[in-house]
A and B are shown apart, each in its own frame.
Chain A
Amino acid sequence: DAGVIQSPRHEVTEMGQEVTLRCKPISGHDYLFWYRQTMMRGLELLIYFNNNVPIDDSGMPEDRFSAKMPNASFSTLKIQPSEPRDSAVYFCASSFGVLTIGEQFFGPGTRLTVL
């Protein structure tokens, strides 16, 4: 398996533009997590899904952020409109079986810069 795949790896956009980040979890994993990492706030969980259903989106900073998981092999995180303070590295992670939680497998991240 190729591991968790994220695209794009780097994104530079201007304030006000829509940004869509993509994630393909490891096949067979039933949990998918979106994180954001900044120097100031560290690693923050934004939202996570179980079997394609959002379970907890309490970490989503505001309505400008939305996430979907239309099927078991694909998820998107959208920011509309983007702002400079959204600049961060966004990670997607997947895992199998939460109640007997094991490790989460992280993708390489998308480095977002909003000018």
Chain B
Amino acid sequence: SQQGEEDPQALSIQEGENATMNCSYKTSINNLQWYRQNSGRGLVHLILIRSNEREKHSGRLRVTLDTSKKSSSLLITASRAADTASYFCATVTPDSWGKLQFGAGTQVVVTP
């Protein structure tokens, strides 16, 4: 089974609203990363949070990490139509030698 699992699987919101998606994982991690994939494109790295960090910001993105609950959340504030994409969390574990283990993704649709 996958290390990271996103919730919800799909999310539909209107422009200007906030979008929140969650990622749960099973084993201890070195870091957790979030990626975005626009339709027909490759994945683009958004943000990385290390296991000793609890929160990080990047522009309109806010990521939290709760290692006790083995979960992370990605918040996109003031969403735009251009934020329409699939969002994936990926974990790096101590024994993974750099391999990223991806979840199934959350498909976000932002309507104007």
Q: Which residue of B2, B42, B43, B98 contacts A101 across the interface (Cβ within 8 Å)?
A: B98
> With A56-B97, A98-B97 known to touch, is A104 a contact of B102 (CB < 8 Å)?
no
B45: Cβ under 8 A from any A Cβ:
yes
* A48-B2 in contact (CB<8A): no
A109: Cβ under 8 A from any B Cβ:
yes
B-chain residues with CB within 8 Å of residue A105 when the two chains form the complex: 45
A-chain residues with CB within 8 Å of residue B92 when the two chains form the complex: 101
A70: Cβ under 8 A from any B Cβ:
no
B96-112 CB mask vs A (1 if < 8 Å, else 0) is 01111111110000000
Can you name 17 extra interface pairs (CB under 8 A) apart from A56-B99, A103-B33, A103-B45? A31-B98, A42-B2, A42-B104, A43-B43, A45-B101, A48-B98, A93-B42, A93-B43, A98-B97, A101-B30, A101-B31, A101-B92, A104-B100, A105-B45, A107-B42, A108-B41, A109-B41
